A = this chain, B = another copy of it.
């Protein structure tokens, strides 16, 4: 009954196998190896993007902040949702890597910037000439931190607003696979064809040990990105072990298989919660994250029985037992139906 985070689950066995295979003998360091070249080719194929610059890093924050730094001048502001990981969970890393750019928080519903909110936020900047921050990229998250998934039309609506102002678009795709499994479309449709210039393509939350791909669909700034990565101390020397993970991930659609499993576990949980007394889903659980309100007493009982998940902006102690408290539940590829069912039985 572990729903604390998709960062907490195991690595898929095929990934470990791939690491073991990659371990034979010597291989050039710093990404100059055969496996890394294969990753670039594979990612380009998967995204139907033959010119994309593809770089591997070990954390989602590294992918996000290095990509944002590539798109943002220090005197600009990044437009993002109020619950964006880059704002709430990266300890000012985007500000650090961009050299001090600002983040402008846009009106957010269900974890997604609203189109009106984005348009208004962009309109409000650059009305002060040299004095105010200048407009920078729009950064959106797919799937969002609230577990919703932008449909393609919504995505395109948001990126169109960015385009209309000449602003580039970044997508935090730490859970790109989960969103793609939900929409059932092609990777290109949910990225560059939808107006995304730079994608943090997550792997770690979906069965890898620690690899994310930073993708610039226009490969022109490839060398600059490499310098930024090195200067950020994010260029791994034994790079083949990042590549080996990503290759296993992309091989035979493992990435989508794992994401689908995680999503299915979330749906099972959602279905159970919908019929549970006193439980209220807070957002549409489109992918592998679910927010729900449950009475305090219920949380207490679940925790006592060994369930692991996070209360959200709420404390277990200090209020009436029937007060509904928000909580976040995250499923990963390794979730077992038996555990979910046991959890639902406890409800």
A176 within 8 A of B: no
CA distance A131 to B32 in the complex (A): 13
Is the Cβ of B11 less than 8 Å from the Cβ of A241?
yes
Q: In whole Å, how far is A78's beta carbon from the nearest beta carbon of chain B?
A: 11
A164 within 8 A of B: no
Q: In whole Å, how far is A72's beta carbon from the nearest beta carbon of chain B?
A: 11
Is the Cβ of B11 less than 8 Å from the Cβ of A23?
yes
Interface size counted on chain A using CB atoms at 8 A = 76
Knowing A16-B19, A59-B237 are in contact, say whether A88-B231 is a contact too (CB < 8 A): no
Closest to A89 in B: B131
A28 within 8 A of B: yes
Is the Cβ of A59 less than 8 Å from the Cβ of B133?
no
CA distance A329 to B4 in the complex (A): 48
- With beta carbons under 8 angstroms apart, the residue of B133, B134, B231 that contacts A75 is B231
Q: In whole Å, how far is A170's beta carbon from the nearest beta carbon of chain B?
A: 15
Is the Cβ of B59 less than 8 Å from the Cβ of A91?
no
Q: How many copies does the complex hold?
A: 4
Is the Cβ of A26 less than 8 Å from the Cβ of B308?
yes
**Interface 1/0s, chain A 1-34, versus B by CB < 8 A?**
0101101111100001001100111111110000
Q: In whole Å, how far is A61's beta carbon from the nearest beta carbon of chain B?
A: 4
Chain B residues lying within 8 Å of A98, measured Cβ to Cβ, are 100
CA distance A163 to B4 in the complex (A): 34
Knowing A90-B233, A100-B100, A232-B93 are in contact, say whether A130-B226 is a contact too (CB < 8 A): yes
Is the Cβ of B103 less than 8 Å from the Cβ of A102?
yes
Q: In whole Å, how far is A195's beta carbon from the nearest beta carbon of chain B?
A: 25
A74 within 8 A of B: yes
Is the Cβ of B131 less than 8 Å from the Cβ of A238?
no
Chain B residues lying within 8 Å of A58, measured Cβ to Cβ, are 58, 210, 236
Q: In whole Å, how far is A221's beta carbon from the nearest beta carbon of chain B?
A: 12
Can you identify 28 A-B contacts, CB atoms within 8 angstroms?
A2-B26, A8-B27, A10-B23, A10-B25, A59-B234, A62-B233, A73-B227, A74-B95, A74-B99, A76-B92, A88-B128, A88-B132, A89-B132, A90-B131, A90-B230, A90-B231, A91-B227, A91-B231, A96-B100, A99-B99, A99-B100, A100-B100, A100-B231, A105-B105, A204-B237, A205-B237, A210-B241, A232-B233
Interface residues of A (CB under 8 A from B): 2, 4-5, 7-11, 16, 19-20, 23-30, 57-62, 64-66, 73-77, 88-93, 95-103, 105, 127-128, 130-134, 204-205, 209-210, 224, 226-228, 230-238, 241, 308, 313
